[in-house]
Amino acid sequence: MLKKRIIPCLDIKNGRTVKGINFVNIRDAGDPVELGALYAREGADELVFLDITATHEGRKTFVELVRDIARHLNIPFTVGGGISSVEDVTPLLQAGADKVSVNSSAVRRPELIDELVDAFGSQCIVVAIDARLKDGVWTVFTHGGREPTDKELFAWAREVEKRGAGEILFTSMNHDGTKNGFAVDALKELSEQVQIPVIASGGAGSMDHFKEVFENDSADAALAASIFHFKEIGIGELKDYLKNNNIAVR
């Protein structure tokens, strides 16, 4: 049976993880390779590394880092942040990344998705969508949730699928950071409207929230950052909890 996936997300700035504290069993929690390897050992199914560096030098550091991650990690990982062309993706995949995620640049120029799919195949193109619910409408935002767009979540998700994306990573801005649970209703709707896998993001605060989002197939995978980095939930105990609640996990 296909397993539901748990995906820790690491923010990277100038080659270092931004969040993450108090890991007693690794030497350097700021080292993305060490932290990634720890998560892999604990049972993470995939990892996401988001480069939030803005500078050109930072980008080069990131490609080197991706190579280092691929050398040491034996589970799949996605990289994202600042990708806006085929030329941006080539060095990342060549360095050993399995998938790349695009967000703002795909909203600005949707043809980018087609170009990436043609060049690298659907399986490695993840489209990340940030959206906020207001007055009954889910509006897509870009630039880390700062800029509203004229796109509506479900219509944009269907377009993204039609253009060949392999997966959708949906972050509810209403839920992100609240620790009150994922946007289960919107995720369920999204999962029914598209035929490609959906990753839930934003709102995880307890193990029960993961159970809730996987029940009724609201999502195929769930992503979280701070609750893992701050050790509020251990990946091993989360997997055990889900197993005990009859959710298929590895």
Partner 1 sequence: MNLALVKYNAGNTQSVLFALERLGITAQLTNDADELMAADKVIFPGVGEAGNTMKHLKSLGLDVILPSLKQPFLGICLGMQLMCRHSEEGDTECLGIFDLDVRRFVPRNHEKVPHMGWNDLSVADHPLLRDLSDPHMYFVHSYYVPESKHSLASAEYIHPFCAVINKDNFYAVQFHPEKSGAQGQKLLENFIGL
User: Does residue 149 interact with partner 1 by CB under 8 A?
Assistant: no
What are 8's two structure tokens?
């820790």
User: Does residue 94 interact with partner 1 by CB under 8 A?
Assistant: yes
Give the H or E element holding residue 147: strand 147-152
Answer for which of 98, 160, 190, 233 binds partner 1 (CB under 8 A) is: 98
User: Does residue 75 interact with partner 1 by CB under 8 A?
Assistant: yes
Residue with smaller CB distance to partner 1, 173 or 222: 222
What are 94's two structure tokens?
């060549």
User: Does residue 250 interact with partner 1 by CB under 8 A?
Assistant: yes
Backbone angles phi, psi at 136, to 5 degrees: 80, 5
Helices assigned H by DSSP within 171-206:
184-193
User: Scanning residues 160 to 179, which ones bind partner 1 (CB under 8 A)?
Assistant: 166-167
Site string for partner 1, 199-218 (x = CB under 8 A): --------------------
How many angstroms separate the Cα of 247 from the Cα of each of 4, 101, 205?
Answer: 7, 27, 18
Site string for partner 1, 30-69 (x = CB under 8 A): ----------x----x------------------------
Answer for which of 76, 110, 148, 234 binds partner 1 (CB under 8 A) is: 76
Which member of 45, 51, 88, 130 is catalytic?
130
Which member of 11, 31, 45, 51 is catalytic?
11
| Residues 47 and 80: beta-carbon distance below 8 Å | no
Environment class of 245 (CB within 10 Å of its CB; exposed 0-12, middle 13-18, buried 19+): middle
What are 12's two structure tokens?
């990277």
- Maximum alpha-carbon separation in the chain: 48
| Residues 104 and 143: beta-carbon distance below 8 Å | yes
Residue with smaller CB distance to partner 1, 35 or 173: 35
How many angstroms separate the Cα of 166 from the Cα of each of 55, 81, 196, 214, 219?
Answer: 29, 18, 6, 19, 14
User: Does residue 26 interact with partner 1 by CB under 8 A?
Assistant: no
Answer for which of 55, 123, 178, 216 binds partner 1 (CB under 8 A) is: 123
Residues annotated as catalytic (active site), given as ranges: 11, 130
Residues near partner 1, by CB under 8 A: 1-5, 40, 45, 70-71, 74-76, 93-96, 98, 120-124, 166-167, 192, 195-198, 220-221, 250
